[in-house]
Chains A and B, each alone.
Chain A
Amino acid sequence: MTIDTSIVEEGQELEKPSQAPMTGVVAAAEGRRRGKPRKFLFLRNSKAVAGMVILGFFLLIAIIGPWIAPYDPSARSDDILQPPSWEHWFGTTHLGQDVFSQILVGTRGVIVVGFVAGILATAIGVIVGVTAGYIGGLGDETLSVLANVFLVIPQLPLIIIIAGQLPTVGGVTVAVVIAITGWAWGARVLRAQTLSLRRRDFVEAARANGERTWRIITAEILPNLTAIIASGFVGTVAFAVLSLITLSFIGIGNTGEWNWGTVLYQAQSQLALQRGAWWWFVPAGLCIALLGMSLTLINFGIDEFVNPRLRSTGLNARSLRKRGIRPRIGFTPVVREAEETRA
């Protein structure tokens, strides 16, 4: 087990107060177990760390990609449809362009759109969600319906009809369109959490003390929403990356700007499949999957941080099997390991 459990109590505050009878007992014992500071708890979650490392790698490529790319991604050459080799790590296109350089250069577009859309959508989500949860009443009803409408309307077709009718579609435009259509999920979760925080004693106390509303929100409520905001942000980045790539793949957006989706668009439209040029579309897809996976892993880390029940408490399948332990609800395993000193 790599996760510290001293945040158990904090985590339990965040979820509904239905606890198994003995988790209280056990959590109390666990909580007192290790007294390390809780600052770096999140970083001790192996899933989160793996996710951060992969994401960090792509961020680095996004910054230095255009400089380290061995070729100009658009430059044609005589090496047409070459499989991977030392000169062209990921092979070449039908025009002799270097796929490896296209991917390296294209990383920036993906990351920028993902993060710009993520930041914008999170900002809208926080404003709408926290406001709705805090003011309550009719305002809450209206904002909730608004968020739910945006959740239910299929986002991708909406993005397509908006982006499809814009005369010029640069990366940032796409990011804005994605943010406008993708903020609702975060808002919904934040609203529910704000609603429950608002009824907590410390917020009630602050209100009774006559604290100003914006101060209560920034000092008392927002800090308690950090984990949810973070997870909403990460989720939106993943959504934005997928949307951007899908848009580029179906040919919406500026094809002069490289990103992984445009690589796939060209591969598809130039019949890479039929020509057996797997190197043309496999690397881009794997990059998307890796980036998406890193974001999912970070969110798993946040989820486990917030909801202690999801943590695998040292459940390493192999070592458990060796000891004959089968962890199950309702059938506590029995091993005869304790020494017996009492009669």
Chain B
Amino acid sequence: MTIASPIGHPQRLAPASDPVLEIKNLSVDYGYDDDPVHVLRQVSLTLGRGEVLGLAGESGCGKSTLAYAATRLLPPPGLITGGEVLFTDRSGVKTDLLRLNDTQLRASRWQDMAIVFQGAMNSLNPVYRIGRQIADGIRAHEPKTSQKEALERAAELLDLVGISPDRLRSYPHELSGGMRQRVMIAMALALDPQVLIMDEPTTALDVVMQRQIVEQIAELRDRLGFSVIFITHDVSLLIEIADRIAIMYAGEIVEDAAALDVYNKPRHPYSSALLHSFPPLRGPRRELIGIPGSPPDLSRLGGGCPFADRCAFAFDACSKVNPELVFPNVPGDDPRRSVACLRHDPAAVRAVGEVPLPVPAELSLS
């Protein structure tokens, strides 16, 4: 297999010592009753300053939930049941977003972290002109700014994403899908946020438009220096833009590594299967294989590995222990990458009295 060359910017890993957002042991339930679904179970994830982090997985794996829970935008009956979301501002002061009161949270939003939602049609208020919607966000945080000044800034923002400023007076229904998505990006950049979360920002668009938007994000990131969490089920798209990729499955992160490492040498059977279900962007063609079975019922998870039922490499221990994220059991791997698979974790296997099996060749490519 050949190594795909990334477009745009050089491959890099942000030093872990300069994180901008640290999600620690975040747990989320869905349902306020006695029998909630645990949609996220103690998920930890770190975003470095200036880094583009891709979050991938099948639909229903919890990647969007993670983003909305970290910003506390998850709608009822979502419930955050534990963990921390630490945001580090430019001066190095850390705040736990989960401990802020409403006023503090409102003040932090959009300044520190902004979100571009999936499906821009519904993200814009249909009865307001887009200028006003951008200005609303600015004036909420800078009450001294006049409406006129806010609109002038909105015009500059539109210009930034390549939309003519006279579109300020347009209503959302007068714009095309791609334009609406750009407006959303412009809106998200209004207060120069340090973290931009993008939830499937290109799903509803055609391929050409997808590519333009992705390139635009990469370009703006290079210019403005914000960090990005990019959520998508399209792994091949992530290779183009992300520095690092975290793969989620059944409400947990199963693999976390540099983008090219995930792409060329996946260590988790699920990552490997996921990659084989998309056509490669470059290099020789390979056979496309779907993943057998479907994601598990989150309310019926036992103690074992949630992927075991669909995994080609599952063995006895997999039904007994839910694997933790560990360093892959492959010599010479990047020390910052991690994987949650018992094939890489002989200690955990021995702890339940089973015999560890070696890492299969497919999961130890180099």
- The answer for the CA separation of A221 and B287 in the assembled complex, in Å, is 42
Does any Cβ of A come within 8 Å of B199's Cβ?
Answer: yes
B81 in contact with A313 (CB, 8 Å): no
Which of B59-67, B176-184, B346-354 lies at the interface with chain A? Answer: B59-67
Query: A30 to chain B: which residues have CB within 8 Å?
Result: 30-31, 37
Encode contact with B along A296-322: 1 for CB under 8 Å, 0 otherwise. 000000000000000001111001100
A332 in contact with B31 (CB, 8 Å): no
A325 in contact with B32 (CB, 8 Å): yes
Interface size class of B (residues with CB under 8 A): 35 or more
Nearest CB of chain B from residue A101's CB, rounded to whole Å: 47
Which of B116-124, B157-165, B255-263, B312-320 lies at the interface with chain A? Answer: B116-124
B324 in contact with A22 (CB, 8 Å): no
Does any Cβ of A come within 8 Å of B46's Cβ?
Answer: no
Q: How many residues of A contact B (CB 8 A)?
A: 40
Known: A21-B117, A332-B68. A314 touches B81 (CB 8 A): no
Query: B172 to chain A: which residues have CB within 8 Å?
Result: none
Complex partner residue of A314 from B25, B31, B105, CB under 8 angstroms: B31
- The answer for the CA separation of A140 and B68 in the assembled complex, in Å, is 44
Identify which of B29, B33, B200 gathers the most chain A CB atoms within 10 Å of its CB.
Answer: B33
B79 in contact with A331 (CB, 8 Å): no
Query: A314 to chain B: which residues have CB within 8 Å?
Result: 31-33, 77
Nearest CB of chain A from residue B22's CB, rounded to whole Å: 13
Query: A327 to chain B: which residues have CB within 8 Å?
Result: 32, 76-77
Query: B121 to chain A: which residues have CB within 8 Å?
Result: 18
Does any Cβ of B come within 8 Å of A154's Cβ?
Answer: no
Complex partner residue of B78 from A19, A22, A33, A341, CB under 8 angstroms: A22
- The answer for the CA separation of A329 and B59 in the assembled complex, in Å, is 23
Does any Cβ of A come within 8 Å of B72's Cβ?
Answer: yes
Does any Cβ of A come within 8 Å of B299's Cβ?
Answer: yes
Query: A316 to chain B: which residues have CB within 8 Å?
Result: 32
Complex partner residue of B80 from A20, A33, A320, A332, CB under 8 angstroms: A332
- The answer for the CA separation of A7 and B200 in the assembled complex, in Å, is 26
Does any Cβ of B come within 8 Å of A78's Cβ?
Answer: no
Please name 24 pairs of A and B residues whose Cβ atoms are closer than 8 Å in the assembled complex, sorted by A: A21-B68, A24-B60, A25-B64, A26-B65, A26-B78, A28-B59, A28-B60, A29-B30, A29-B39, A29-B299, A30-B31, A30-B37, A32-B298, A32-B299, A33-B299, A313-B77, A315-B32, A316-B32, A328-B76, A331-B105, A334-B79, A337-B81, A337-B82, A340-B25
